[in-house]
Structures are given as C-alpha cells and as structure tokens.
C-alpha cells in the first residue's frame, strides 16, 4: 500500500509536506527549549531578588517567590557608601570613557580616511597595535604611572584605562565610517570654501552619526562591565564601580553571603546593558561584526 | 596647493590619538619590560636584577600550573563554544520571527559583564541555595545537589558552563552573518540533487564557513587565554591553587604579594604568547581579504 501511495505524485507531496511540517515543529520546539535554558539563570535571579531575605536563603531554594519584597533592593541601596555612590562612580567612568573615545577616534578616523597622508598605514597600525597587547599586562606600569599623579581611585584614571581598551576598535570603526561618506558631499563643502574643520563639523559629523552611536554603545557597555582594572585601580570602598561593589556585597558583613542582596545587585548591574542592547540591537550587532572581521 | 595643505592638516587630526597611544600604551609597555628586569615592589624600591625574574618564572611551579591550566581551559572551552555556536547559528540563521527572537535571546548574555555573570552562576552552583543544582536534581540528572568548587575538575566544568552561557552568542552571530551570505542558489541546487539537510551542512555550509570558524576560534581562544574574572569570582584559584589562570597568577603576584617586578616578567611572557596568537589572527583576516 505504501508502495502505491509513493507512486502518486499528489500523495507524495502530502507526505513531503507532513515531514516538513514535522521538522518545522521540531525546530520550533528546540528554539523554545533553548530560549528557556538561556533565560533560566536571569529569570531565577530576578525572582530571587524579589524574595524576602529569609526566603532567599531557604534550603532547598524555591524557583518562584512566595512573598514579594523589595527588601533586598533596599539593602543594596543602603550598602556601605550607598548604591547611588557606586552607580555614580560607574556612570562617571563610563561617560568619561565615551568622551575620550569620541574625542580621539573621531578626528583620527577623519584624518585617516580623508587625507592623503604620508605613512598613513603605519600610523594606523601603530594606533591598532594595542589590540595585540593584552591590557591586563599594562595594568602594573599604568598603576605605577597613575599613583603619583593621583589617578588611582579616580574617574579619569580608570576611564583612561578603559579608553586604552576601547580605542583601537573605535578608531577602526570611525575610519570606516568616514571612508563611506560620498566624495561629492566633501567637494560641495570645499566649493563653499569650508576649511577642513568646518567640513568635519558641518558635513561629516551628521553623516558618520551611526558610527559614533556604535562607538558610544561599545564604550559604555565595556566600561560598565570591565572588572580587573576597576578592581586594581579603585581600591577604596567609596570609589568601587558596580561590579566591584557586587563582589564586596557577596562577602557580606559577617562572612556569610547575603544571597538576596547579591541577586538584587546583579539585576541592577545587568539592567542598563540589557536595556541598551534591546533598544540599539541593530548598532550593536553590526558593530560587533565589523569589529571582528577587521 | 590644497593637497599639500591637506597633508599637514590631516596629521593634526591624528596627533591626539597618536599621543594617547604613545603615552598610555607604548610607554607602559616599555616600562613593563624594564620592570620585569628589576625587583620592583608595590611597597617601593626597584633594583636592576637582570633576568632573575625570568629564571624564577621558569622554576615557579605555580606559574607552570597556571599556564597549563589556562591552556587546558582554552582547549576545552573553545571547541565547545565553536560547536554550540555553530549549531545555534544553523538553528536561527533563517529570518523567521521565532528564530530571530531565539537568536536575540542567545546573544543577550554577551552584553552582560563577565564579573556579574560569574557571580550569578556562583550562586546558581551553590550546593545549598543554588537553583542550577536544584534544577539538575528536579530533572533527574543528579540525585542530590553537589559541591562544585572543591574539586578542580568539577570547578573547571562549572566555570565552562557559565562562560558558555555567557559568550556562545558571540560566535553564533559571526556564523550567522556568514551563513546568510552564502549564495542561496548553491543550496537549492543541492536540494534538487536530493542532498539532505545535514549533507548540505557538511558539504556546503561548513566548507564555506571555514574562514569565519578559524577567525572566531582565534578570537575566542585569545579571550580564554586571558581568563580572570570567572576564576577570581567562582573558584578563587582553589582548591589548592589548582585553578589559577595566567592573568590571575600575575594579578596575585603584582597586587596581592606586591611583587611587581616578578609580575611584570610573567606579563611579558603572556604578552608574547598573545601577540603570536593575534598575529595569526591578523594574517588570517588579511589573507581572506585578498581572495
């Protein structure tokens, strides 16, 4: 019977269609399973953060909170110097890093993309060379350099380290952005008698805005998340950034871990990154691709 | 006249960035090499010591343990990341709403800090309050919650699980960009010839992803060779210093034991290893651009 049905074109089509539908369902099921696995850690952490502190330390733990409470967040808010201090530290360093990256990478990208410089590629390589050197190795000499200048436990000091980390990518990206601006735009500006600086401000900056958004995005996320330099350079309790504060929260006051407060802190550290990613996903993914395929 | 003027004006735009890199990358690098030849301490004082630090590194059992452990970590996690990343790319490369959403969710942890995600997983793995342990028990995979961080091998796997969760989306995104760039006609022709799905993956998608896979492997391997946060937070180098990574051992020597000279020598050694790796990566990319 099966042999017969296989010979009928119409029935064969149905059979292929059924197999295809089956594999579509299977793929959808796998997708949903993967989504569940990826979101599980974030979901249970969020739920733990809104448990009461007592429930957060219960053994065995519950997946979902029985009673909702914001007490864990309140504890993090009042932790040591207070959450506002730590948020302010992290944000200050991040915004300074963004400022440094833009101030250095935008002109550099312009110079590299738009002027027939002698030895341009050598300069470009010099600027990107720091990509090859792990910044972890530079932390000791930078620390010795910064300590006498008062740049340890300082927003500017840590922002400089974060800029070292982020600058090659920013310059690469800005050069690329400037190169893709059509020549006609520039020529029109020169005809109007613009100097190169006026051309940069009036013609180019609006045209390279997507590149600048990507630079800002990566500088922010990288600086917000960066750990080892912050650990070394921000040793004073009042100058911790958020990730370093989290490690301190974990240690607790009496050597026991405050699990609920830790989860609340983790959620606070994650939210800005996730929000930016969800809002600016397009810039993020395209920036990542152009950066990796440099 | 404009061209001549343009040259020098162009240079002016490069000056700030060049100065920055000279002062904050080139100079510290030189100073690092100098420090590695001294007995500098964070407590002050530095005397030229020749190659003593390098000889000491050669005889330092923990240095070798940490280097070998870092290599072991890298060699274990990199194939897992590439394999799962490639499977995730195959699963979600098509632009249907569900697949796009799945892709977005897999990529999501990439934007979270490694320090933060390590703390999150350290909690999930906890023997008493950890929900990963509880989930494994509920699913029947474990009979009771286990202690992950008292045995080096188990601790390594715990770290690997957490890092895979965090960065698997990175490779996936690179692979998806590549898969979407493959000419659809090749695939359709193979389909008409009766090639099944996995045959097409093996014969068409994999060979055409070769360069991207190599590139992602190198980026990922270099990142793993520089691992610090995940071990600092989750294992603390324990048990018995068996899970120190290279960067962790450098940190420990420089900023916990205050032996900056020795820490610098270790940094120089690590830098040489990483520079070789990155040079390979750049060569690969350059060659790819030519074809």
Ordered by where they begin, the domains of chain B are 36-114+154-290 (1.10.3720.10)
The answer to whether A225 contacts B113, with C-beta atoms less than 8 Å apart, is: yes
Q: Is A31's Cβ below 8 Å from some Cβ in B? A: yes
User: Per mean pLDDT, which range of A7-11, B18-22, B197-201 is the poorest?
Assistant: A7-11
The answer to whether A292 contacts B216, with C-beta atoms less than 8 Å apart, is: yes
User: Per mean pLDDT, which range of A45-54, B41-50, B228-237, B280-289 is the poorest?
Assistant: B280-289
User: Which tens digit of pLDDT belongs to each residue from B61-112?
Assistant: 999 999 999 999 999 999 999 999 999 999 999 889 999 999 999 999 999 9
The whole-angstrom separation of Cα B220 and Cα B281 is 11
**Confidence bin at A293 (pLDDT 50/70/90):** low
Collect all residues with Cβ–Cβ distance below 8 Å to A82 and sequence separation of at least 6.
none
Query: What was the pLDDT predicted at A14?
Result: 63
Query: What was the pLDDT predicted at A174?
Result: 93
- Three-state SS for chain A is CHHHHHHCHHHHHHHHHHHHHHHHHHHHHHHHHHHHHHHHHHHHHHHHHCCCHHHHCCCCCCCCCCCCCCHHHHHHHCCCCCHHHHHHHHHHHHHHHHHHHHHHHHHHHHHHHHCCCCCHHHHHHHHHHHHCCCHHHHHHHHHHHHHHHCCCCCHHHHHHHHHHHHHHHHHHHHHHHHHCCCHHHHHHHHHCCCCHHHHHHHHHHHHCHHHHHHHHHHHHHHHHHCCHHHHHHCCCHHHCCHHHHHHHHHHCCCCCCCHHHHHHHHHHHHHHHHHHHHHCHHHHHHHHHHHHCC
Query: What was the pLDDT predicted at A232?
Result: 94
pTM: 0.89
Query: What was the pLDDT predicted at A4?
Result: 41
User: Which tens digit of pLDDT belongs to each residue from A108-126?
Assistant: 999 999 888 888 889 998 9
Query: What was the pLDDT predicted at A118?
Result: 81
Query: What was the pLDDT predicted at B10?
Result: 81
Query: What was the pLDDT predicted at A189?
Result: 79
Residues in chain A within 8 Å Cβ distance of B2: 190
Provide the β-strand partners of residue B38: B48
Instruction: Tell me the CA end-to-end span of chain A in Å, nearest whole number.
Output: 59
Q: So what's the architecture of A74-292 in CATH?
A: Orthogonal Bundle (1.10)
From the list B10, B20, B264, which residue is nearest A104 (CB)? B20
Query: What was the pLDDT predicted at A252?
Result: 66
User: Is residue A239's pLDDT more than 70?
Assistant: yes
> Is residue B53 a contact partner of residue B264, using CB atoms and an 8 Å limit?
yes
Query: What was the pLDDT predicted at A294?
Result: 44
C-alpha dihedral over B213, B217, B223, B226, to 10 degrees? -170
User: Is residue B59's pLDDT more than 70?
Assistant: yes
The whole-angstrom separation of Cα A142 and Cα A158 is 10
Between B141 and B42, residue with greater pLDDT:
B141
Mean pLDDT of B45-62: 87
Collect all residues with Cβ–Cβ distance below 8 Å to A67 and sequence separation of at least 6.
A51, A52, A55
Query: What was the pLDDT predicted at A162?
Result: 96
The whole-angstrom separation of Cα B158 and Cα B234 is 9
User: Is residue B222's pLDDT more than 80?
Assistant: yes
Mean pLDDT score across all residues of chain A: 87
Mean pLDDT of B172-187: 89
Distant-in-sequence contacts of A227-232, Cβ < 8 A, 24+ apart: A227/B113, A227/B114, A227/B115, A227/B228, A227/B229, A228/A136, A228/A139, A228/B228, A228/B229, A228/B232, A228/B247, A228/B251, A229/A135, A229/A139, A229/A158, A229/A161, A229/A162, A229/A165, A230/A93, A230/A158, A232/A139, A232/A143, A232/B251, A232/B255
The burial class, CB within 10 Å (0-12 / 13-18 / 19+), for A71 is middle
List all residues of chain B from 207 to 226 with a beta carbon under 8 Å from chain A. 215-216, 219, 226
The whole-angstrom separation of Cα B113 and Cα A7 is 59
Residues in chain A within 8 Å Cβ distance of B33: none
User: Which tens digit of pLDDT belongs to each residue from A91-105?
Assistant: 999 999 999 999 999
- Closest residue by Cα to residue A203 from A142, A87, A113, A284: A113
**Confidence bin at B1 (pLDDT 50/70/90):** very low
The whole-angstrom separation of Cα B109 and Cα B74 is 20
Query: What was the pLDDT predicted at A81?
Result: 84
The whole-angstrom separation of Cα A218 and Cα A214 is 6
**Confidence bin at A15 (pLDDT 50/70/90):** low
> Is residue A126 a contact partner of residue B16, using CB atoms and an 8 Å limit?
no
Collect all residues with Cβ–Cβ distance below 8 Å to A278 and sequence separation of at least 6.
none
The whole-angstrom separation of Cα B42 and Cα B281 is 35
Cα–Cα–Cα angle for B83, B88, B93, nearest 5°?
A: 130
The answer to whether B263 contacts A145, with C-beta atoms less than 8 Å apart, is: no
Residues of chain A with CATH 1.10.3720.10: 74-292
**Which of A30-34, A71-75, A132-136 tops mean pLDDT?**
A30-34
Our measurement of the distance from residue A283's CA atom to the centroid of its chain's CA atoms, rounded to an integer in Å, reads: 12
User: Is residue A2's pLDDT more than 70?
Assistant: no
CA distances for A101 relative to A37, A161, A196, A279, B54, angstroms: 36, 11, 21, 22, 36
Mean pLDDT of A15-43: 88
Query: What was the pLDDT predicted at A71?
Result: 87
User: Is residue A9's pLDDT more than 60?
Assistant: no
Query: What was the pLDDT predicted at B67?
Result: 94
Tell me the percentage of chain A whose pLDDT exceeds 70: 92
- Closest residue by Cα to residue A244 from A106, A113, A96, A80: A80
Q: Is A220's Cβ below 8 Å from some Cβ in B? A: no
The answer to whether A129 contacts B25, with C-beta atoms less than 8 Å apart, is: yes
User: Which tens digit of pLDDT belongs to each residue from A181-195?
Assistant: 888 887 887 778 778
Residues in chain B within 8 Å Cβ distance of A36: none
Query: From the CB of residue B285, how many other CB atoms can be counted at a distance below 10 Å?
Result: 16
Tell me the percentage of chain A whose pLDDT exceeds 90: 50
Phi, psi of B27 (to 5 degrees): -60, -50
Between B229 and A23, residue with greater pLDDT:
B229
Sign of CA dihedral A25, A29, A35, A36: positive
Between A193 and B192, residue with greater pLDDT:
B192
User: Is residue B16's pLDDT more than 80?
Assistant: yes
Phi, psi of A67 (to 5 degrees): -120, 135
Residues in chain A within 8 Å Cβ distance of B120: 41-42, 45, 266
User: Which tens digit of pLDDT belongs to each residue from A196-213?
Assistant: 888 888 888 888 998 999
**DSSP three-state, residue B114:** helix
């Amino acid at each position: 019977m099966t042999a017969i049905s296989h010979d009928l074109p119409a029935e064969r089509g149905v059979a292929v269609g059924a197999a295809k539908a089956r594999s579509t369902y299977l793929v959808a099921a796998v997708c949903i399973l993967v989504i569940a696995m990826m979101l599980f850690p974030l979901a249970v952490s969020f739920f733990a953060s809104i448990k009461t502190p007592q429930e957060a330390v219960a053994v065995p733990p519950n997946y979902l909170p029985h009673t909702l409470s914001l007490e864990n967040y309140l504890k993090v808010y009042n932790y040591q110097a207070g959450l506002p201090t730590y948020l302010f530290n992290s944000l200050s360093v991040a915004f300074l890093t963004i400022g440094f990256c833009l101030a250095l990478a935008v002109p550099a990208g312009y110079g590299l993309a738009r002027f027939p410089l002698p030895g341009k590629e050598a300069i470009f390589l010099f600027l990107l060379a720091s990509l090859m050197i792990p910044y972890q190795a530079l932390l000791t000499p930078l620390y010795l350099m910064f300590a006498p200048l008062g740049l340890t436990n300082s927003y500017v000091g840590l922002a400089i380290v974060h800029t070292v980390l982020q600058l090659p990518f920013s310059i690469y990206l800005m050069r690329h952005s400037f190169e893709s601006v059509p020549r006609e735009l520039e020529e029109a500006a020169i005809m109007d008698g613009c100097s190169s600086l006026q051309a940069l401000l009036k013609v180019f900056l609006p045209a390279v805005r997507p590149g600048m958004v990507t630079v800002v995005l990566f500088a922010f996320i990288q600086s917000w998340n960066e750990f080892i330099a912050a650990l070394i350079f921000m040793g004073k309790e009042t100058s911790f950034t958020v990730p370093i504060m989290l490690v301190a929260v974990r240690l607790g006051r009496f050597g026991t871990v405050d699990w609920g407060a830790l989860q609340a802190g983790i959620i606070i550290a994650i939210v800005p990154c996730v929000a930016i990613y969800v809002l600016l996903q397009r810039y993020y993914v395209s920036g990542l691709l152009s950066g990796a395929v440099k | 006249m404009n061209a001549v003027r343009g040259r020098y004006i162009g240079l002016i735009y490069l000056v700030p960035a060049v100065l920055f890199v000279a002062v904050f990358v080139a100079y510290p690098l030189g100073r690092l090499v100098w420090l590695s030849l001294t007995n500098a301490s964070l407590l002050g004082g530095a005397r030229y010591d020749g190659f003593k630090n390098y000889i000491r590194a050669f005889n330092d059992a923990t240095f070798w343990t940490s280097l070998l452990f870092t290599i072991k970590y890298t060699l274990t996690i990199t194939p897992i990341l590439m394999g799962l990343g490639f499977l995730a790319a195959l699963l979600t490369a098509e632009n249907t709403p569900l697949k796009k959403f799945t892709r977005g969710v897999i990529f999501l942890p990439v934007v979270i800090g490694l320090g933060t995600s390590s703390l999150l997983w350290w909690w999930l793995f906890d023997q008493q309050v950890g929900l990963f342990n509880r989930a494994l028990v509920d699913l029947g995979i474990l009979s009771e919650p286990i202690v992950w961080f008292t045995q080096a091998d188990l601790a390594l796997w715990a770290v690997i699980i957490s890092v895979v969760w965090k960065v698997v989306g990175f490779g996936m995104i690179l692979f998806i960009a590549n898969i979407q760039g493959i000419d659809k006609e090749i695939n359709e022709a193979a389909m008409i010839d009766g090639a099944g799905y996995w045959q097409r993956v093996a014969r068409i998608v994999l060979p055409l992803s070769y360069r991207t896979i190599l590139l992602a492997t190198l980026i990922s391997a270099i990142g793993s060779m520089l691992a610090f946060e995940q071990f600092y937070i989750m294992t603390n180098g324990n048990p018995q210093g068996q899970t120190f990574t290279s960067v962790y051992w450098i940190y420990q020597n420089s900023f916990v034991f205050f032996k900056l000279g020795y820490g610098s020598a270790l940094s120089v050694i690590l830098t040489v290893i990483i520079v070789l790796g990155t040079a390979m990566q750049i060569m690969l990319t350059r060659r790819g651009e030519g074809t």
